[in-house]
Amino acid sequence: MSTCMCLAAASCTGLSDDRRMNITGKRTVWQGRFLKALNISYTDRSGNTRIWEAVERVNCAGIVTIVPMTAEGDILLIRQFRPVLDSFVVEFPAGLNDKNESLEEAARRELIEETGHTAEKFIFLAEGPISSGLSTEVLTVFLAKDVSPASARLKQLYPPDESENIEIIKTPLAAMYERLNACRESGDFIDLKIYGLVELAKNALSVGRQKENQVGA
């Protein structure tokens, strides 16, 4: 195995961009209602053809996760049973873009479906793979700013998924880590994305306040 280490300051300039490595084909070996298993053929940097086993969503144009924060500084998390893990998991609201929507529209819909809340402003935070050795999924994350309870009309338009039984955890941002530790100690799994995404959200809010102060100065 060849490993390349490059220390670059604040950019990816100078990192390897080996055009010899590319995908040459994909073959579906199994397909269900929501997922399919793939054999991906690709060429390595030595010119050898190799096979990588992967999983891909069916009829899905992206995955969205929402970091919902209220005007009072509370953060909304959800807790639901995940059959794959045979356990409850605490996580941010998330879902599939499978209804011919934009990613922001999908995020707005999922927020209402899973929490009964909505927001006027959705701020893009990040985009990237979730498990690049296993899945083709690319996750897009939005901060939902100043969330509040959705109207009865919106809840009727976007009802909860009948297969999901979701509990809402509302906690002050300052107490979030303590609350997560309590959930973990009680036997729940904590989605590790929470820890990084909440820091991205805090940074986005800080930058936003700085810009507002500059305008008002």
Q: Can you list the domains of the chain with their CATH numbers?
A: 22-57 (no CATH), 63-216 (3.90.79.10)
Say if residue 176's pLDDT is above 70.
Answer: yes
Say how many C-beta atoms besides its own lie within 10 A of residue 122's C-beta. Answer: 21
Q: pLDDT at residue 195 above 60?
A: yes
Share of the chain above pLDDT 70, in %: 88
Q: What is the pLDDT of residue 94?
A: 97
Residue range 199-205: mean pLDDT, rounded? 94
Cα–Cα distance, 113 to 50 (Å, whole number): 42
The DSSP 8-state label assigned to residue 159 in this structure reads P
As annotated, the active-site residues are 162
Question: Taking 50 as the threshold, does the pLDDT of residue 8 lie above it?
Answer: no
pTM of the entire predicted model: 0.88
Residue 17 has pLDDT above 70, yes or no: no
Burial of residue 22 (CB within 10 Å: 0-12, 13-18, 19+) is exposed
Please give the residue that has the higher pLDDT: either 103 or 207.
Answer: 103
Q: How confident is the model at residue 139 (pLDDT cuts 50, 70, 90)?
A: very high
